[in-house]
Chain A
Amino acid sequence: MKTLVFIEHADGKVKKTSLEAVAYAKALGGDVVALALGSIDGGALGETGKYGATRILHAADKKLDHPVIQVYTSVIQQAMQQEGADNLVLANTSLGTPVASKVAIRTGASFASNVMELPNTSSGFLVKRSIYTGKAFAWVEMKSAKKVIAIKKNAAELKEAGAAVSPTPFSPALDDKDFNTKVLSEEKASTAISLPEANIVVSGGRGLKGPEHWGILEELATTLGAATGCSKPVSDMGWRPHHEHVGQTGVKVAPQLYIAIGISGAIQHLAGVNSSKCIVVINKDADAPFFKAADYGIVGDAFDVVPKLTSALKAAK
């Protein structure tokens, strides 16, 4: 059996969830071939070998720097064909998942997104998917011999198992017709820690009363090496950028630690954080619903508690 893993990268580094996809593919058994598209340093890409890829293909053509779903689909399909791969595994992202679904249609494979853990293969091939925005799970039977699986963060454990591998150039045929969406420009805060990938997230809600008060939250985040998030009203009012909004209609996070400051804990917000390992809630209202979903809670004024927490963390370093 052979599994191809589509590697996403940003700012010159392979994304952690893509490494998890490699580890997942390795755990399925058989050979693992990784594929990266667009500009990335060969050394950085080669690290993928440590998690189980025995071969790495790199389609470095600059035309692939901006992802176009149709083009990426075609390149992945060509790589699968060339390598004789049975399966495709990748990270469940707004790019990877749609691409994967198209590859599945073209190859007649069974497809599952939002997959949370390694399959149960005791009878058939069953994967556990997150549904109802994390409020429940579904066991899905993948019936075809070929499988395309999009995994959520933490679906496979990252263990260094092998050595770095130097990438092999891959030159797929690129059809102009496939470039059916044109990227005009991009606005990106490249220095920020990626919210969906972050190990620690510090989020603020309407309780912080205005964008001018985000300093205390940012200081806490910097101290922890955390990404910053917010509740929906906070991004609706323009206090924070839209891509920071966490919840049912925003980003779904899955960090080790989620710290919620001045957020009431509406069920729609909780839907975006229920995959967190540990939740800390700071709220001045002891009856705030968020405490019911928390592991640790502090009742208090954010403007008092947050700076104290930052100092305590600095002191404990």
Chain B
Amino acid sequence: MKILVCITHVPDTTSRINFIDNNTKFDTAGVQFIIGPYDDYALARAIELKESSGATVTVLHVGPADSEPTIRKALAIGADDAIRVNTEPTDSFFVASQIAEHAKGFDLVLMGRESIDFNGGVVHAMVGELLGIPSVSPVMKLDIEGSKAKMAREIEGGKEYVEANLPLVAGCQEPIAEWKIPNMRGIMSARTKPLKVVESKAADGQARTTKFELPPPKKPVQMISADNVAELVSKLKGEAKVL
């Protein structure tokens, strides 16, 4: 079985977000980059399937060269090889078009349910559409049985068990697998694993980001004594008007 895992290269979840150039560019100063947390779940499940059934795992990232340490980390965690599509992503459709170009021939395409920078929540569905194969998200459990995948999908207030034929695309989230940390041997071998850089194919994104904005600063907190909870109730009613 051949598995493709699509990973994002995103600011660490504790990062402060800032923009430069008159709010048109993300400020990378002092920011640590990581594999997207949901993509990390997808990768962890792929490695488990590799260990249990001898699948091969390829990671794919669409983005410029500064993402290579993140891609190497995925190789250190256990992926066999990697592809980087060398381009600056513009919108979800553009990214999905690049992924679809390379995803043919894989039995399983695993992604995160959502990227934590763009928060589109759609690249998996778009790739499914472009390839004409099923897409399922958010997937919290995934097992392969012959030519089928059995999955649990999170729905509001619970879960739904679904089944689909391979090949398919799944947008993953916890608890599909435990995040994996690379070990020393993994880190050493990752240096020599193949990382193929390919150029992007033309695809016209229909949407374009023109400007970024930060939320307004928050008002300072009002502290209320634990002996006077009635005051909280009256403030929630009268001042905040939320009760």
Chain A residue at minimal CB-CB distance from B222: A296
Q: A138 contacts the other chain (Cβ, under 8 Å)?
A: yes
Q: A112 contacts the other chain (Cβ, under 8 Å)?
A: yes
Q: A39 contacts the other chain (Cβ, under 8 Å)?
A: no
Chain A residue at minimal CB-CB distance from B97: A105
Q: A173 contacts the other chain (Cβ, under 8 Å)?
A: no
Cα A280 to Cα B211 in complex, Å, equals 32
Q: A182 contacts the other chain (Cβ, under 8 Å)?
A: yes
Interface string of B202-229 (1 = CB under 8 A from A): 0000111111111100110111111001
Q: Which residues of B contact A129 (CB under 8 A)?
A: 119
Stretch in B59-67, B102-110, B184-192, B230-238 touching the partner? B230-238
Given contacts A97-B120, A105-B126, A274-B215, 6 further A-B contacts (CB under 8 A): A10-B156, A102-B125, A102-B129, A242-B154, A249-B38, A256-B242
Q: Which residues of A contact B126 (CB under 8 A)?
A: 101-102, 105
Q: Which residues of B contact A187 (CB under 8 A)?
A: 158-160
Q: A190 contacts the other chain (Cβ, under 8 Å)?
A: yes
Q: Are A186 and B235 in contact (CB under 8 A)?
A: no
Chain B residue at minimal CB-CB distance from A291: B221
Cα A17 to Cα B119 in complex, Å, equals 18
Stretch in A52-60, A162-170, A301-309 touching the partner? A301-309
| Nearest CB of chain A from residue B33's CB, rounded to whole Å | 13
Contacts A110-B206, A186-B161, A280-B236; is A299 near B154 (CB within 8 Å)?
A: no
Q: Which residues of B contact A296 (CB under 8 A)?
A: 221-224, 232, 235-236, 240
Q: Which residues of B contact A309 (CB under 8 A)?
A: 229, 232-233
Contacts A94-B113, A101-B126; is A196 near B156 (CB within 8 Å)?
A: yes
Q: A188 contacts the other chain (Cβ, under 8 Å)?
A: yes
Q: Are B232 and A189 in contact (CB under 8 A)?
A: no
Contact of A98 among B17, B135, B212, B225 (CB under 8 A): B135
B:162-210 near A, CB below 8 Å: 162-165, 171, 173-175, 206-210
Q: Which residues of B contact A130 (CB under 8 A)?
A: 119
Q: Are A132 and B207 in contact (CB under 8 A)?
A: no
Contacts A10-B156, A97-B121; is A298 near B226 (CB within 8 Å)?
A: yes
Q: Are A257 and B119 in contact (CB under 8 A)?
A: no
Chain B interface extent, by class: 35 or more
Q: B45 contacts the other chain (Cβ, under 8 Å)?
A: no
Q: Are B233 and A305 in contact (CB under 8 A)?
A: no
Give the 8 A-B residue pairs with the shortest CB-CB distance, closest first: A300-B226, A98-B125, A188-B158, A101-B122, A110-B206, A180-B134, A257-B242, A184-B161
Contact of A182 among B125, B162, B214, B223 (CB under 8 A): B162
Q: B155 contacts the other chain (Cβ, under 8 Å)?
A: yes
Q: Are B162 and A181 in contact (CB under 8 A)?
A: yes
Q: Are A316 and B237 in contact (CB under 8 A)?
A: yes
Q: Which residues of B contact A87 (CB under 8 A)?
A: none
Instruction: Please indicate which of the listed interface residues A101, A112, A134, A248 has the most CB atoms of chain B within 10 Å of its own CB.
Output: A101
Q: Are B236 and A242 in contact (CB under 8 A)?
A: no
Q: B11 contacts the other chain (Cβ, under 8 Å)?
A: yes
Chain A residue at minimal CB-CB distance from B156: A194
Cα A92 to Cα B156 in complex, Å, equals 13
Q: Are B212 and A184 in contact (CB under 8 A)?
A: no
Give the A-binding residues of B (Cβ under 8 A). 11, 13-14, 16-17, 19, 37-38, 91-93, 113, 116-122, 124-126, 128-130, 133-138, 140, 150, 154-165, 171, 173-175, 206-215, 218-219, 221-226, 229-230, 232-237, 240, 242-243
Contacts A10-B156, A136-B19, A187-B158; is A143 near B230 (CB within 8 Å)?
A: no
Instruction: Please indicate which of the listed interface residues A99, A242, A281 has the most CB atoms of chain B within 10 Å of its own CB.
Output: A242
Chain B residue at minimal CB-CB distance from A177: B132
Chain B residue at minimal CB-CB distance from A131: B119
Interface string of A101-135 (1 = CB under 8 A from B): 11011101111111000000000001011111111
Contact of A180 among B117, B165, B171, B174 (CB under 8 A): B165
Contacts A136-B19, A136-B212, A248-B37; is A298 near B13 (CB within 8 Å)?
A: no
Instruction: Please indicate which of the listed interface residues A69, A102, A132, A313 has the most CB atoms of chain B within 10 Å of its own CB.
Output: A132
Q: Are B218 and A181 in contact (CB under 8 A)?
A: no
Chain B residue at minimal CB-CB distance from A138: B209
Q: Which residues of A contact B214 (CB under 8 A)?
A: 135-137
Q: Are B226 and A257 in contact (CB under 8 A)?
A: no
Contact of B210 among A114, A140, A256, A293 (CB under 8 A): A140
| Nearest CB of chain A from residue B89's CB, rounded to whole Å | 13
